[in-house]
Amino acid sequence: EQSLAGTFLFLLDLPTNRCAAPAVLSLLETPAVRRRFAVEEEELARVRAWLRESGIRWGLDAGHRRELGLEMSGLHTWSFGLDRLLLGYIAGAGELYQGIAPCAAAAGGEAALLGRLAEFLDRLRDWHGRLREARSAGDWTELLLRLLDDFFAPAGDEDDHDALPELRETIVDCLGQCQRAGFAGLLSPVVIKTCFEQALSAPSPGQAFLSGRVTFCNMVPMRSVPFRVIWLLGMNDSDYPRNQRPATFDLMAGTPRLGDRTRRNDDRYLFLEALLSAREVLAVSRVGRDRRDNSVRPPSVVVAELQDYIDRSFSSDAGRACRQLTVEHPLQPFSPRCFDGSPGRASYAEQWLPIPGPATEPPPFLSSPLPAAGEEQRQVAVKDLVRFWSHPVRFFLQERLGLRLRAADELLPENEPFLPEPLQRYALGQAAVAAVLAGQGNEEQLQWLQATGALPHGSFGVNLFHELARLAAGLAATVTPLLADPVAALDVAAEIDGFQLSGRLDGLYGGGCVRYRAARLKGRDLLSLWLQHLVLNLLAPRQCALKSCHVATDRTVRLRPVADPGAELRQLLDLYRQGLGEPLRFYPETSRAWLEAWRAGKGREAEAAKKTWTGGFRRPGEGEDPAYRIAFQGDHPLESPFPALAQAVFGPLFAHLEDDDADL
């Protein structure tokens, strides 16, 4: 019922609402709305993915934004995103059409769902215009009942509580009061919304006031019935006395006079009534400390005044009288102070009882390696081997334990982009380099990125594009000479000491294997290049050189031919199989830092590894990855065999770097 009432109030607020993507999707998630538009619950995940991929943030269209006082284009509006989705479904991923960039997010069998989403948005636009005008009470009644029919469908299950009839009765009763009072004037949308906010927020009658030995109730006037014990909850400074924002049409609130009622004064009187009604015990509960930083939070002003009165009226050699009456409970139920025997804050929750004895470190994640999964472990695809060595511990958790640590972010953004996140910036840079290599001009790239909504609005987006264009031009100038004489991708089918290696090797040219990335060189880039370089040398095609090259924004790395690639791959495959049985103590960035320090010969290997693992100011360490925290809880990840693995994996790689790249 509360969900349906909140959805109804959201619809009444359409003329002034931003219609942000999360709010509108929440509207569609309401069961009654889903039934009306025939959207299944499992289909909401697809709709959410469409909204994210098409770039919808807020606003129905450009006209809606102008009504809100913002002279902006229709970028990132619902109309913008829906046009992209429909064009992508019809034409697929392709070129701009009349300034619209297609978004091919909807698959062939999802046409019906896309059509229902379009119908839902069309109905929102229609009612956004209808609810803006002032009307008589009778017209409002007819209009709002039609609004319920357009957006809500009754529950199909007889056992399911249907709140629609109650909502219809509320509409008829509220607006019927105007007719009974003989009011024939026009009612503005603000008045209507305020009226229904009050009607739908009024508490239900519920049970009788005095129905048992313990009574739970709100603090309302005329309930000053004597009780042996009265306990007041939630007496926080920001919650009591309550603040009431007056309605915009309330002229009395703008010019208050002596004798006008105020919510704060009423609440102060209610507190006095509760104080007088307590015969034996008055208990006041509040949140005394902030749960984030444990700082002291002040009580309600009426509680503070009561404390001051007690301190002035009573004196004690043990200190303030009020302090002796106050019991401070721990913020968390598992605090050891709940079980130290203090009668005022003793806990009886057995699940939080501390384990007796001295504190011990948590047990290791795995006490012994997992049993071998079978011979299928020896069927290895090249792409899986590359993925394993980019993060061996995460690969183990995902492939052997089915633990997914990087779930997609469920929160939809509701504001247009101002500055891209690091990953988004990298994706834009990578796309810009690919566009330059494909021969696209800057103007064409800018039009495409603006049409997709990937760039911020206005000059911010133009400045960002120029910065990306300079980055792409510099990287493309280095990469272009390496892309001469392209070679077709090679099929990989090789047997190495019982392992069956399969897959395809692409990115081959006359000069060898070429890779590039619009980012600084990472340890995983070196490992990926090394693995593909070994496969290239194992296949030894005649049409290209047995060399490999990776171009990054800060340096270019080249690898020489390998005399015995099978032996190097055999060692990496043996470690791969070991890493499928237990978390491997190999971390691409930290292991690289250790080996570089070892090659420098200054004895600072442990210091370099710890610095990369722990990070620093505004520089997260590799050890902050959740996969490492899970796999090495109660353990020391930089202990043996970490140094040996770093040398075994990165040692041969560094030995095959060309002389100019020997010192990375």
Residue range 497-534, pLDDT digits in tens: 889 999 999 999 999 999 999 999 999 999 999 999 99
Q: Which of 135-149, 201-215, 346-360, 591-605 has the lowest mean pLDDT?
A: 201-215
Place of tokens 């003989």: 182
- Taking the alpha carbons of 320, 322, 326, 331 in that order, is the dihedral positive or negative? negative
Please, which pLDDT band fits residue 222 given cuts at 50, 70 and 90?
low
Length of the chain: 664
Q: pTM score, two decimals?
A: 0.73
Mean pLDDT computed over 475-504:
92
pLDDT digits (tens, 9 = 90+) for 403-419: 887 655 567 888 888 88
Mean pLDDT computed over 440-465:
89
Q: Give residue 594's pLDDT.
A: 95
Query: Rounded to whole angstroms, how far apart are CA atoms 220 and 209?
Result: 11
634: pLDDT strictly greater than 90: no
Q: Are 201 and 227 in contact (CB under 8 A)?
A: no
Q: Give residue 82's pLDDT.
A: 94
Q: Are 153 and 36 in contact (CB under 8 A)?
A: yes
Identify any residues that bridge with 500 across adjacent strands, giving them in sequence order.
379, 495
Which of the pair, 554 or 184, is modelled with greater confidence?
554
Q: Give residue 195's pLDDT.
A: 87
Query: Rounded to whole angstroms, how far apart are CA atoms 67 and 129?
Result: 11
Q: Give residue 527's pLDDT.
A: 96
Q: 513 phi and psi, to 5 degrees?
A: -90, 130
Please, which pLDDT band fits residue 197 given cuts at 50, 70 and 90?
confident
652: pLDDT strictly greater than 80: yes
Rg of the chain in Å (alpha carbons):
34
Query: Rounded to whole angstroms, how far apart are CA atoms 220 and 203?
Result: 12
376: pLDDT strictly greater than 80: no
pLDDT digits (tens, 9 = 90+) for 22-63: 999 999 999 999 999 999 999 999 999 999 999 999 999 999
Please, which pLDDT band fits residue 463 given cuts at 50, 70 and 90?
very high
Q: Give residue 158's pLDDT.
A: 45
Which of the pair, 664 or 370, is modelled with greater confidence?
370
User: Among residues of the chain, what percentage have pLDDT more than 90?
Assistant: 50
Q: Are 501 and 494 in contact (CB under 8 A)?
A: yes
Q: Give residue 660's pLDDT.
A: 55
Query: Rounded to whole angstroms, how far apart are CA atoms 564 and 571?
Result: 12
Query: Rounded to whole angstroms, how far apart are CA atoms 372 and 394?
Result: 18
Q: Give residue 2's pLDDT.
A: 46
Query: Rounded to whole angstroms, how far apart are CA atoms 528 and 505?
Result: 12
Please, which pLDDT band fits residue 223 given cuts at 50, 70 and 90?
low
Mean pLDDT taken over the chain: 87
Domains of the chain, start order: 2-201 (1.10.486.10), 227-253+260-325 (3.30.160.800), 375-584+653-664 (3.90.320)
Query: Rounded to whole angstroms, how far apart are CA atoms 392 and 627?
Result: 10
Which of the pair, 203 or 437, is modelled with greater confidence?
437
651: pLDDT strictly greater than 90: yes
**Three-state secondary-structure class, residue 188:** coil
224: pLDDT strictly greater than 80: no
Determine how β-strand 379-381 pairs with β-strand 499-505: parallel
